[in-house]
Structures are given as C-alpha cells and as structure tokens.
C-alpha cells in the first residue's frame, strides 16, 4: 500500500526535513499493535502520508490526532480522508499542520463531542490521557523526548518512538532488568540479556535523563532497507513507559549534578569526590551506606544509585 500511495501522489522524500519513509508493512503492523490503543487517545507525530496511521486506525482508538510539519503531507492526508482511505467510524480524527515542539496537546474536545458538555476536572484527567507514537526525523529525537518527558504537564502514559539505533542503545544503557520485566510482564529474551550484559554499568547523561522519567524497552530492530530512501544507519523502535518515581528530586539540579560529574565518567568516583568536595572519610561512609564499591566509576551507577547519591550529597 505504501508504494501505491507514494506513486499516486508523486511523493519524494525531502532531505531538508529528514524524511525517510518506513514502507515495511510487517514492521508498521508491529508498531501499531504494540500498544493496546483500543478506545484510547493517540497522538501520532510525523505521520507523513499515513502509512502507520492506517495501521493505528485498525486498532479503533477513541481519538487519533496527527501532527505533521510538512504542509504537502498534510494536504495528502486530507485528500486520503476525503477518498475514504482511513477507517474513521469509531475515531475522533484530527490533522494539525504544526511544529510538534510548539503543539499544545489536548484531547478533552473528544469528551465535549461525545457528551455534549464540558468535562469535570476528574473527567478531564481521564479523557486527556494519551499514548504517543512517533516516526520522526532523527535530528529532533532529543527535543521530542525533552518536551514530552520534562517540559509539559500533560505527559503521555506511553511513547512508541522510531529512532536511530545507536541513540536507542545509549538510552537503553542503565535501564534495569527489573524495569524491563515490569514493562513486559516477562523475563528478558536471550538477545535482551546480551544487550543488558553488554551495556551494564555504562550509563550516560542521555540514558539517565530518560531513566529519571521512564522505563524503556526495545520493541523491534528496523533495518535500513525498510525505508525509502534507505538511511545510512539502522533504526529501532523504543517503548517508553513514563513514571514519577523520582518526582521529589528537582530535575534541573539533578541533571546539573549528572553533567558536572560525567565530564570524567571513567574516573573513580571516590577520587573525584575527594578532589572537589569531601573528606575521604565522609565519602567512604556514604559508600558504605549505599553499598558502593570503592573502585566504582560514574558510568557504573544506575539511575537509582545516582538518585541515592544525590540525596546523600544535596538533600
């Protein structure tokens, strides 16, 4: 179907917008069926001509709002709606030609449409919950994560994002096996175990930035041949499940703390701390309380260990 739409509308990828169209039907189907979105609100970022949109609509979401920056793609989407290419019987379907970084996420209009009245505060909270699905240019991956994990109050419950694989691997580093089990309700596969072992104790500023706000799991690896045009890198789809486990820790202060010490991630933690701030006896006492090895390095710490260390030093 993707090839037919590309041919029908003479669609060509715009390099300036970082467009690479995912055309593998099996992978599109896997992405759309990963989340249980039946009668749920869904925000799709970067739908382009609607290849993934078609698959999402088959799951019968309550609302599906598309945010597309490319005006020509928006016109194609609207034309496809007029041609009844999308199954919209059960869905509040809206298309927004906007920059997602400036987009105000709201789904309460769905309640107005269904019940003919303004929602109560409780109803607004329930009806405004949503899932995010994004097939976006790789260069805006970090701003997207920044916005939906940190910058807005109405955060998605879950996010499914296609991104450059090496970036995804960095994000996955520092995610605990326990969290993986919590997301999937199962033990990791052999491949997932290999990834965990390989990446164990190799946290980064990026992985900790994400881990403070969400659990993450890789859903599927996407080879370059799955796109038109094929990118120079491989991709993966990551599932983010947002949480508020560390809401008592100030985001800005914590990230400042991480960035300062990650300037020398492979140096021993105890040497850095005694060099800049504390007596060695004080540090050893903190280490003993936290069950830290004296030879531990900054990159060895998981998100929970960083949080506990931050509390000991700053709180």
The single residue listed with the structure tokens 């060099």 is: 275
Please state the rounded mean pLDDT for residues 264-284.
76
The predicted structure's pLDDT at residue 182: 40
Question: What residues does 159 pair with on adjacent strands?
Answer: 132, 240
Q: What CATH code would you report for 251-314? A: 1.10.8.100
How far, in Å, are 150, 179, 197, 261, 305 from residue 174 at the CA level? 19, 10, 11, 16, 10
SS3 of residue 164 by DSSP = strand
- For residues 164 and 294, the model is more confident at 164
Mean pLDDT score of the chain: 85
Determine the angle formed by the axes of helices 303-314 and 280-290, rounding to 10 degrees. Answer: 140
Superfamily name with CATH number, domain 2-242? Vaccinia Virus protein VP39 (3.40.50.150)
The C-alpha atoms of residue 8 and residue 54 are separated, in whole angstroms, by 16
Q: Where in the chain is the domain with CATH 3.40.50.150?
A: 2-242
- For the stretch 200-229, pLDDT in tens is 547 888 999 999 999 999 999 999 999 999
- For residues 193 and 95, the model is more confident at 95
The single residue listed with the structure tokens 């800049």 is: 276
CB contact set of 257 (below 8 Å; sequence gap of 6+): 310, 313, 314
- For residues 200 and 246, the model is more confident at 246
Other CB atoms closer than 10 Å to residue 271's CB: what's the count? Answer: 15
Q: How confident is the model at residue 174 (pLDDT cuts 50, 70, 90)?
A: low
Q: pLDDT at residue 45 above 90?
A: yes
Q: Where in the chain is the domain with CATH 1.10.8.100?
A: 251-314
The CA-based angle 9-12-17, given to 5 degrees, is: 125
- For the stretch 95-136, pLDDT in tens is 999 999 999 988 755 445 445 566 665 555 556 789 999 988
Q: Please choose, from the candidates 243, 268, 22, the residue with its C-alpha nearest in 3D space to the C-alpha of residue 137.
A: 22
The predicted structure's pLDDT at residue 287: 84
- For residues 134 and 267, the model is more confident at 134
The predicted structure's pLDDT at residue 122: 57
Other CB atoms closer than 10 Å to residue 139's CB: what's the count? Answer: 10
SS3 of residue 248 by DSSP = coil
Contact assessment for residue 84 and residue 58, using Cβ atoms and an 8 Å cutoff: no
The predicted structure's pLDDT at residue 175: 66
164: number of CA atoms within 13 Å, CB side?
Answer: 13
């Amino acid at each position: 179907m993707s090839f037919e739409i590309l041919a029908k509308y003479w669609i060509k990828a715009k390099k300036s917008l970082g467009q690479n169209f995912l055309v593998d039907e099996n992978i599109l189907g896997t992405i759309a069926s990963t989340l249980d979105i039946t009668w749920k609100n869904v925000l799709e970022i970067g739908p382009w001509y609607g290849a993934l949109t078609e698959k999402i609509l088959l799951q019968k979401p309550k609302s599906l709002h598309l945010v597309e920056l490319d005006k020509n793609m928006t016109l194609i989407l609207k034309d496809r709606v007029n041609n009844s290419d999308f199954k919209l019987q059960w869905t509040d379907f809206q298309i927004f030609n906007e920059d997602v970084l400036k987009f105000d996420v709201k789904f309460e209009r769905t309640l107005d449409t269904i019940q003919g009245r303004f929602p109560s505060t409780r109803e607004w909270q329930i009806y405004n919950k949503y899932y995010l699905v994004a097939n976006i240019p790789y260069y805006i991956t970090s701003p997207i994560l920044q916005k939906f994990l940190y910058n807005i109050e109405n955060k998605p419950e879950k996010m499914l994002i296609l991104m450059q694989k090496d970036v995804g691997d960095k994000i996955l580093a520092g995610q605990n096996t326990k969290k993986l089990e919590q997301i999937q309700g199962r033990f990791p596969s052999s491949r997932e175990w290999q990834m965990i072992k390989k990446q164990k104790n190799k946290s980064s500023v990026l992985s900790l930035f994400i881990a403070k706000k969400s659990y993450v799991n890789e859903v599927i690896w996407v080879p370059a041949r799955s796109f038109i045009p094929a990118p120079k890198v491989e991709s993966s789809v990551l599932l983010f499940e947002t949480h508020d486990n560390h809401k008592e820790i100030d985001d800005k202060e914590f990230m400042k703390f991480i960035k300062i010490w990650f300037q020398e991630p492979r140096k021993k933690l105890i040497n850095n701390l005694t060099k800049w701030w504390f007596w060695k006896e004080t540090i050893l006492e903190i280490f003993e309380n936290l069950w830290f090895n004296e030879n531990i390095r900054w990159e060895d710490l998981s998100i929970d260990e960083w949080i506990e260390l931050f509390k000991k030093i700053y709180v």
